Structure formats: C-alpha cells, structure tokens
Amino acid sequence: MRAMPQASGRWGLVGLVAACLWLLACVPALAQRVEGDRAAATGAYEAEVAVRNQTDGERNGAFGRALAQVLANATGDRGVAQQPGVRDELARAKAHVASYDYRQDEGVSATGAPSFQTTLVVRFKRDEVDGLIQMLGLPSWPLPRPKPVLWLGIDDGTGPRLVALAQVNAARAVLDQAKQRGYALGLPSGSAAEQAAVGAIWRGDTAAIASLSKRYSPPMQLLGKLQRGAGGWVADWIFVDKGKVLSKWQTKHPDARRAMAGGADGAADALFKRYAKAGSGGPPGRYRVRVLGIDSADDYLRLAGYLEGVSIVKRVTPVSASADVLELDLELATGIANFAKYADRGEVLSTVSAGERSDDADGDAVAPQVATFRLD
C-alpha cells in the first residue's frame, strides 16, 4: 500500500486536498454513475440478480448466480450450472468480478402497496470467463451473434395483428428474454405490406415471411402466433435461418408474457445448436496420470481428498505406487489438458513439464502420453 502524504504547516489544507485527490486516483472505481443513471447489465459478460440486502454474504451468493447467468449466455446452455466443474467456479465467482453496483426498483405488490426490490448488477472479467469456458471444456457461442427478426402476431379476441416497432412494448417479454439468453431480436418497421403479412404468420407461411424479410439482415426469422386458448395463452413458434426451418415449438401459460418469453428461449436453443463451437481440451474419458511427491500416508490422503472435490473427476483408480510416485487412472468429464489447467489454479497439484519429468525417482523414463503432476 502506498503511504499517504503528510500535511504540515501552512500547506496543511492544500496538502489535505492533494491527499484526498491522490487517494481517489489510487482507488479503482467499481462503478461510477452520474446522477440519474440506473445501473443495468448491458453486455454479454454482465448480469442482474435480485438480492434481499447488501450484506457481504448475500452479495457473494449473488455473484455465483450472476456468473451462472453469464456462463449460460456465453455457452447457450441453460443447464450449464449442472455441468462438471461449474459448481466449483460458481462458489468462487467473486474472484472473476470486475465491478458491481446496486439498483433499487419500485413496484406495486398484489395488494396495491408499494414494493421495493434491490438488484445487484455484476460485470465479470471477459478474459477470465472465456478462460473458464475453455478450462471446463464447455461449448461456446461466439460473438457477435445474429439478430433475428421477430414476426409476432397477437390475437386477443379481436383478430390477429402484427407487432411492429411502434408496438415494441407489446413484445417486451420476448425481447427481454432474448437479452437474458445473450442475443437480441429485432422487429419489422410495420409497413402496410408487413402489416398485411399477419395472415402469413397465422398460416406458418415461412416463404412469404422470408421474402418480406429480405430488407433486413441477417436472413433469419422467428415467427410467433400468440392467441388465447383454454386456460390462458398459447404461442406457436417457427425459427427459420436462410429459408430453412430449424425448429418448431409451442408454449402455453396463463400469463401472455410468459408464453411469449418461451419464444426467445426456443430461438436461443436453435441458434446455439447451429452455431455453438464444441469445447476444447480433449474428449472426456480415462486418462493415466503420475503424481510425484507422495512421501507419506498423509500425502496420499491429501491427494485423495483433493481429487474427490474436483467435480470434473468422475472416478479415481489407483494403478501403482513406487518411491514417491503414485500412478492413477482418472475418469474425466473433460480432457486431460483441461484437468491440468484446473490443477494449476490451485495449491495442491501443479503440472510437471516434460523436462522435469524425464526421469522418475527410480530412473525410469516417463511415457510421454502420461500426464505428470507434483503434490505441492
């Protein structure tokens, strides 16, 4: 820590002011906003989560939920939090936070009384999130992502109508859910020809809608037909990319907004399936490893306890032991390269380079296909 300048004599006041300015310059700003600004997540590596208070414990737990959102957006996998290794990273999400801020939202409760909700807005370090995805062997959904045109027709009992730019609030639920999934949807401008195309939406005429969409980029459309049904609202969806139907699905819910949100989820799943890149680091499977520095039963127990807590390790099978070397077969949920990256981040194991492992304690050459680690 830098020493704060001391003020003395007639320069005391000037020195004090200078010291304050010096401190402000030295302290990194987590989130500086001018009066009237509202904190909000605006990028793929940012997330918003509701919190009960602003205590350290509540905030640290919320960091994990926020990181789960960001990983889901980055990978396109809504169930990414259940993938091997992810749970451990969510527990240490604070280490990946670049900055955070709070927002107070005012609303009205079911009884009509004012209600208030505190929201934590978290911004993560992009390089570290990308590194996590690579280390855990997760798929990635590259940026920038396409912005499909949403052709949404709604019939509330008075006949189907197109939702265009002028009616953007009517489609807010599906537009916001798309942002939550890490991409954006656009709306048609609402020309007379486009307004008349609501019939094509109702028929599921993807060719007619694709023809109208030629003025927009990319050539990708999400067709939605929302209408009242038994017990609520029913939405039928078709996702089209370059004239090819990628997916069809239906969503139902008593709340029209929830039925609409399902359209964004289905489109995100279709986009991910088509454009996501497979994770790197090798395929899952069984890998032979050697661990140096096992000098006692305590060392063995320490290693066993460590491997048991690594969620990408599915099974450990001892193979042989000699001098201070233990040989194991690890059944991994990802490749051995990713396990090595995982180990190097901790304080229990470290990777042994090829030069260091040319000979073990008995002078036997180590097979190049066997990964070697040292117990620290």
Q: Give the whole-angstrom CA distance, residue 201 versus residue 211.
A: 13
Short-list 262, 256, 245, CA closest to 181:
262
Structure tokens at 64: 């994990």
* Contact status, residue 137 vs residue 338, Cβ threshold 8 Å: yes
Q: Is 359 inside any structural domain?
A: yes
Nearest to 268 by CA among 220, 312, 204: 220
- Give the separation between CA 248 and CA 5, rounded to whole angstroms: 67
- Give yes or no: residues 349 and 263 share one domain: no
Same domain membership, residue 309 and residue 255:
no
Q: Is residue 71 part of a domain?
A: yes
Residues 157 and 252 occupy one common structural domain:
yes
With respect to residue 69, please indicate whether it lies within any of the assigned structural domains. Answer: yes
**Residue 256 CB neighbour total at 10 angstroms:** 19
**Residue 150: CB partners within 8 Å, gap ≥ 6?**
163, 171, 174, 175, 185, 186, 187, 221, 222, 224, 263
Model pLDDT, residue 366: 44
Q: Say if residue 294 is in the same domain as residue 239.
A: no
Instruction: Tell me if 214 is assigned to some domain.
Output: yes
Residue 296 and residue 271 share a domain: no
Q: Please indicate, yes or no, whether residues 246 and 179 belong to a single structural domain of this protein.
A: yes
Structural domain count, the chain = 3
Asked if residue 5 is part of any domain, the answer here is no
What phi and psi, each to the nearest 5 degrees, are found at residue 32?
Answer: -100, 125
How far apart are the C-alpha atoms of 253 and 95, rounded to whole Å?
39
Q: Which two tokens stand for residue 291?
A: 């661990």
Please answer whether residues 97 and 123 qualify as being in contact, where contact means their C-beta atoms are separated by less than 8 angstroms: yes
Say if strands 313-322 and 325-332 run parallel, antiparallel, or are unpaired: antiparallel
- Closest by CA to 163, choosing from 195, 193, 185, is 195
Both 331 and 364 in one domain: the answer is yes
179 and 236 housed in the same domain: yes
- Residue 352 within any structural domain of the chain: yes
Domain end point (choices 249, 275, 301): 275
H or E element in which residue 97 lies: strand 97-108
Torsion of CA 355, 359, 364, 369, to 10 degrees: -30
| pLDDT tens, per residue, the chain with 376 residues | 223 334 344 334 334 333 333 333 443 344 433 334 678 888 889 999 999 999 999 999 999 999 999 999 888 888 888 887 888 889 989 999 999 999 998 888 778 888 899 999 999 999 889 888 888 888 888 888 899 999 999 999 899 999 999 999 999 999 999 988 889 999 999 999 999 999 999 999 999 999 999 999 888 999 999 999 888 999 999 999 999 999 999 999 999 999 999 999 999 999 988 888 877 777 889 999 999 999 999 999 999 999 988 878 989 999 999 888 999 999 998 889 888 988 888 789 999 976 555 444 444 444 446 899 999 8
For residues 178 and 129, membership in a common domain is answered with no
Q: Which domain holds residue 258?
A: 149-275
Domain of residue 265, CATH code: 3.40.50
DSSP string, 15-37: HHHHHHHHHHHHSPPS----TT-
Per-residue CA distances from 375 to 70, 137, 321, 346, 355 (Å) = 33, 24, 14, 11, 17
- The CATH number given to whatever domain includes residue 336 is 3.30.70
7 domain-assigned: no
Among 233, 256, 275, identify where a domain stops. Answer: 275
Query: For residue 284, with 0-12 CB atoms within 10 Å meaning exposed, 13-18 middle and 19 or more buried, which class applies?
Result: middle
Six-digit token pair at 26? 């030295």
In angstroms, rounded to a whole number, what is the distance separating the alpha carbons of residues 314 and 345?
Answer: 19
Out of 101, 135, 169, a domain closes at 135
Domain-located, residue 74: yes
Residues 255 and 330 in one domain: no
Do residue 174 and residue 245 come from a single domain?
A: yes
Do 290 and 267 reside in the same domain of the chain? no
For residue 283, what pLDDT is reported? 82
